[in-house]
Amino acid sequence: MSTQVPKQTDESSENATDAETTVPSKGDARREEKRRRAAERREERQAEEAERAAAAEDTVELKVFRYDPEVEGKQEPRFDTFHVPFEKGMTVLDALMYSRDTYDSSLTFRHSCRQAICGSDAMFVNGTQHLACKTQISELSEPIRVEPLPHAEVTKDLVVDMEHFYDQMHAVEPYFQTNELPDGELDEQRQTRENREKVKMSTRCIWCAACMSSCNIAAGDNEYLGPAAINKAYRFAMDEREGEEIKQKRLEIIEQEHGVWRCQTQFSCTVVCPKDIPLTEHIQELKREAVKSNLKFW
Amino acid sequence: MSQSYNRGLIEDFGRWREFSAGMWAWIFHKFTGWVLVGYLFTHIAVLSTAIPAAGAEEAVLQAGDDVYTQTIVTLEELLLVRILEVGLLAVAVFHMLNGTRLLLVDLGIGLESQDKSFYASLVLTGAITVASVPTFIAGAF
């Protein structure tokens, strides 16, 4: 069941003209023959696997979004079906990797650590943003529809362009800054336990962009910072070691026109966050902080 | 990779089956808000018939023949208006209850149970609406 588009004909005709003009050496012919046989074997194996998977009782049906701008026959987006033998504890990422390794090596998706740390494999699974490596197949209804993240341009198959998301993340200056250094040169910048507890959840962000993709407001307003970036701002604005002056600077960033005030508390981001960060809560708290810093009674 | 593919707004109303509680609350709040704004115009139009009625003679007012009373009576005679009033109450009650919920959300109170408070406001709206039916429909048939 290969979903590969058949080899372009102009390539083979090129080979044919090559053969006419220059007589191929014996080695070339042998290598060509070997390649051809390997391809045949691979196709045979894939067909066998597909047959076995379709016949087996415990298989899951995967419908995967496919798009490849570089291959003529794949420029029109489509869905490919893969039958994957189910194993206990199988995740969506496992199934995708099985599909890629067994059926179609051109199936493209990002993944790295496979344990919900790197944040590369956020996808749109059965209509909701999920981290593929953290989503159990057994919890999903079949057929499982796997699509790239919505509201982001698709580069290829399940890979989306993350540039805009990273731009928003960098816009809030997601790094520790302070101008209140301790007296001694070698003194540590200590954080109280309570303060650490306060920012604890917000430090768990893995930049997977699931929240940004789920946010209805971010979809309509491309300049909106988005839940992840605001959460990053929260992590540092609430860090007491940064000092008042830096906190004011941070509040100025997040209370811009396309900052916290765009949030309309739909809770979509909080629902999809694979790290269970209470994003809406953090955004709301920053809204209150922004109001408090602007209210003056005189 | 020079090209990319824009799938547009996937998260549109075609996906309503996958909306979560908070999303529904937002949609209902917007919808009821617009309904109430629309109602406000008809409300003012009906009430402003009281301005000419205020100049009417005492006897006309006593008999209930003035413009204001006549308008109200005519409207209340229509079955459609009676049913719409039940709907109006439902819309107003939900908007109030969800507004209270949003107030709590803004204050950062009970954000972990925001879905439950949405369901609670839905149930309460339903209960109040059902309880109001006898009052609104009485004598309409």
Q: How far apart are CA A260 and CA A229, in angstroms?
A: 10
Q: Are residues A152 and A204 in the same domain?
A: no
Query: Counting every residue, how long is chain B?
Result: 141
Contact B5 A147 (CB under 8 A): no
**pLDDT, position A136:** 94
Q: How far apart are CA A107 and CA A33, in angstroms?
A: 26
Tell me the pLDDT tens digit for each residue of A223-240. 999 999 999 999 999 999
Tell me the pLDDT tens digit for each residue of B42-56. 999 999 988 888 887
Check if A289 contacts B (Cβ < 8 Å): no
Here the tokens at position B92 are 């107003």
Q: Are residues A282 and A176 in the same domain?
A: yes
Q: Are residues A195 and A111 in the same domain?
A: no
Distances, alpha carbon A214 to alpha carbons A85, A209, A228, in Å: 30, 9, 11
Q: Which residue has the higher pLDDT, A12 or A134?
A: A134
* Tally of structural domains, chain A: 2
Q: Are residues A198 and A148 in the same domain?
A: no
Mean pLDDT of B30-40: 96
**pLDDT, position A16:** 47
Mean pLDDT of A284-293: 91
Here the tokens at position A41 are 């074997």
**pLDDT, position A71:** 85
Residues 6+ positions from B121 with CB-CB distance below 8 Å: B25, B94, B97, B98, B100, B101
Helix (H, G, I), strand (E, B) or coil at A85: strand
Check if A216 contacts B (Cβ < 8 Å): yes
**pLDDT, position A137:** 94
Tell me the pLDDT tens digit for each residue of A154-199. 888 899 999 999 999 999 999 999 888 888 888 888 899 999 999 9
Q: Which residue has the higher pLDDT, A298 or B34?
A: B34
Q: Are residues A171 and A289 in the same domain?
A: yes
> CA B65, B67, B68, B73 torsion: positive or negative?
positive
CATH of the domain at A134: 3.10.20.30
**Rg of chain A, C-alpha, whole Å:** 26
CA nearest neighbour of B107 among A185, A281, A201: A281
Q: Are residues A272 and A171 in the same domain?
A: yes
Q: Is residue A145 part of a domain?
A: yes
Q: Is residue A217 part of a domain?
A: yes
Residues in chain A within 8 Å Cβ distance of B117: none
**pLDDT, position B10:** 56
Check if A222 contacts B (Cβ < 8 Å): no
Contact A155 B106 (CB under 8 A): no
* pLDDT score of A15 more than 60: no
Residues in chain A within 8 Å Cβ distance of B115: 267
CA nearest neighbour of A153 among A161, A143, A163: A161
Q: Is residue A130 a contact partner of residue A92, using CB atoms and an 8 Å limit?
A: yes
Residues in chain B within 8 Å Cβ distance of A156: 1
**pLDDT, position B4:** 65
Check if A153 contacts B (Cβ < 8 Å): yes
Mean pLDDT of A19-29: 69
Å from B111 to nearest chain A CA?
7
**pLDDT, position B14:** 61
Residue A182: asked if its preceding bond is cis (omega within 30°), the reply is no
Distances, alpha carbon A77 to alpha carbons A74, A213, B90, in Å: 7, 20, 44
Band of the pLDDT at A24, cuts 50, 70, 90?
Answer: low
Q: Which segment of A282-291, B10-19, B80-89 scores lowest on mean pLDDT?
A: B10-19
* Placement of tokens 């009281």 in the chain: B50
**pLDDT, position A185:** 83
CATH of the domain at A211: 1.10.1060.10
Q: How far apart are CA B90 and CA B42, in angstroms?
A: 17
Strands (E) across chain A are located at 59-66, 78-85, 122-125, 128-131, 144-147, 154-156, 159-160
Q: Is residue A174 part of a domain?
A: yes
**pLDDT, position B1:** 41
Å from A215 to nearest chain B CA?
9
Q: Are residues A91 and A170 in the same domain?
A: no
Contact B5 A278 (CB under 8 A): no
Q: Which residue has the higher pLDDT, B59 or A210?
A: A210
Other CB atoms within 10 A of residue A211 CB:
29
Helix (H, G, I), strand (E, B) or coil at A62: strand
Band of the pLDDT at A11, cuts 50, 70, 90?
Answer: very low
This model of the complex carries an ipTM of 0.81
Q: Is residue A32 part of a domain?
A: no
Check if A285 contacts B (Cβ < 8 Å): yes
Contact A150 B4 (CB under 8 A): no
Burial class (CB in 10 A: 0-12, 13-18, 19+), A277: buried
Residues 6+ positions from B52 with CB-CB distance below 8 Å: B66, B67, B68
| Full residue range of the structural domain in which residue A62 is found | 46-159
Tell me the pLDDT tens digit for each residue of A45-87. 777 777 766 666 788 999 999 988 888 888 888 899 999 999 8
Helix (H, G, I), strand (E, B) or coil at B74: helix
Check if A267 contacts B (Cβ < 8 Å): yes
Q: Is residue A54 part of a domain?
A: yes
Residue type, A221: D
Tell me the pLDDT tens digit for each residue of A252-279. 999 888 999 999 999 999 999 999 999 9
% of chain A residues with pLDDT over 70: 90
Nearest beta carbon to residue A219 from set B9, B18, B107: B9
Q: Is residue A70 part of a domain?
A: yes
**Pairing state between β A154-156 and A144-147:** unpaired
* pLDDT score of B9 more than 80: no
**pLDDT, position B98:** 95
Q: Is residue A40 part of a domain?
A: no
List helix spans (H) across A6-84: 9-21, 26-55
Output the average pLDDT for chain A: 87
Q: Are residues A51 and A149 in the same domain?
A: yes
Q: Are residues A151 and A171 in the same domain?
A: no
Q: Is residue A255 part of a domain?
A: yes
> CA A14, A16, A21, A22 torsion: positive or negative?
positive
DSSP A176-211: ---S---SSTT------HHHHHHHHGGGG-----HH
CA nearest neighbour of B26 among B40, B39, B11, B8: B11
Q: Are residues A105 and A222 in the same domain?
A: no
Q: Are residues A154 and A103 in the same domain?
A: yes
Q: Which segment of A135-149, A256-270, B2-16 scores lowest on mean pLDDT?
A: B2-16
DSSP B22-39: HHHHHHHHHHHHHHHHHH
Q: Are residues A131 and A65 in the same domain?
A: yes
**pLDDT, position A134:** 93
* pLDDT score of B96 more than 90: yes
